[in-house]
Amino acid sequence: TYQPFKVFALVALGYFILCYPLSRYSRYLETKFNASYHH
């Protein structure tokens, strides 16, 4: 039985797991570089 919703949910979950730490890390780097740039 093919369940497209389950496949979509897995893809969305994998995308979130992949992209959420990257966005957090880029935001951390941005604040870090801005702080070092001003000082």
pLDDT for the residue numbered 35 = 81
pLDDT for the residue numbered 33 = 87
Could you list the pLDDT tens digit for every one of the 39 residues in the chain? 678 999 999 999 999 999 999 999 999 999 988 887 766
pLDDT for the residue numbered 39 = 60
pLDDT for the residue numbered 38 = 67
35, two tokens? 């702080």
Q: Virtual CA dihedral for 18, 19, 23, 25, nearest 10 degrees?
A: 10
**SS3 at position 38:** helix
Number of domains within the chain: 1
Alpha helix locations (H) across the chain? Answer: 4-38
Show the domain range for 13. Answer: 1-39
Given the structure tokens 């979509």, which residue do they identify?
8
